[in-house]
Amino acid sequence: MDGHRQLANLRDLGGLRLADGGTVPAGVLYRSDAPYPGDAVPQTVPRWPPATVIDLRSTGEAAARYCWPTGVTVHHVPLLRQAAVVGADDRATRPARPLPASLEVVYRRMLDMIPHRLASLAGLATNSDGPVLVHCAAGKDRTGVAVAVLLLVGGAEPAEVIADYTASAPNMTALLDRLSALGRSLPADIDASSELLGAPAKAINVVVDRLTGWPGGPQAWAQAYGASAGSIQRWQERLAAGAGRS
């Protein structure tokens, strides 16, 4: 199989520990890089296609959109375009963009500028009748922040959220090869060894610290930015459904 025709940063978040005991069931929440036409059907998740897709890319980003089959609900929730550190633009049309100083700066900016969009994700996820896939271009930065929010609001252990985020790092080489083969590219002035292409714990700690340090915790943070108490409770129940308690 052509390695460029399969998702490079896909994983099911089943098995992550919950703060109140038990683990997230398999087949509830996936995260990945962007799918493209011609991709192979993934064999590493329990159900495909997902029932719900939350696409975090901006309008017009990555012209070759994947065509999801009938029955898949797709929500476009564009997050901060500047957070797309790993390029997924056509080489011929990619505009020049200044690089961020660090991933911490990018993630803090997302929390400051678009918290309502991040908080809204729990409502979209809990209304799904099957697996929810969250993706952007690389499945690392915008997806990393969005999934961290979903996990924390859903009751996951903060240490598990950090471990899941850092798990993207080993996939970056395959992802960059895939994007290059598909005609996408990195910004010309980024070094392949740049920390911007990594997934260091200190970056996602910006999100973990903000939500866990909020008075009342992550659930209170989500409510402060528009999530309903009912959607938060249902999302917590989804992440805990079927979880064995210790």
Work out the average pLDDT over 146-151: 98
Q: Which of 133, 121, 126 is nearest to 78 (CA)?
A: 121
Average pLDDT, the chain: 89
Q: Which residue has the tokens 């994947």?
A: 66
Does 90 score more than 60 pLDDT?
no
Per-residue pLDDT, 58: 86
Model confidence band, residue 100 (pLDDT cutoffs 50, 70, 90): confident
Query: In sequence order, which residues have a C-beta less than 8 Å from that of residue 111 and are 6 or more positions away?
Result: 118, 145, 206, 207, 210
Least confident of 86-90, 127-131, 166-170, 231-235: 86-90
Report the alpha-carbon distance of residue 165 to residue 233 in Å, rounded: 24
CATH superfamily placement of domain 3-86+98-237: Protein tyrosine phosphatase superfamily (3.90.190.10)
Per-residue pLDDT, 155: 98
Q: pLDDT tens digits, residue range 211-231?
A: 999 999 999 999 999 999 999
- Let me know: does 140 contact 9? Beta carbons within 8 Å: yes
Report the alpha-carbon distance of residue 103 to residue 168 in Å, rounded: 14
Per-residue pLDDT, 85: 63
Q: For residue 17, list its beta bridge partners.
A: 23
- By CB atoms closer than 10 A (0-12, 13-18, 19+), residue 101 is exposed
pTM: 0.92
Per-residue pLDDT, 97: 63
Amino acid identity of residue 210, one-letter, is R
Question: What are the residue ranges of helices labelled H in the chain?
Answer: 103-113, 115-126, 142-154, 158-166, 172-181, 201-212, 218-224, 229-240
Report the alpha-carbon distance of residue 28 to residue 168 in Å, rounded: 19
For the chain, how far is it from start to end, CA to CA, in angstroms?
A: 41
Per-residue pLDDT, 181: 87
Per-residue pLDDT, 101: 84
Per-residue pLDDT, 245: 42
Would you list the domain boundaries of the chain? 3-86+98-237
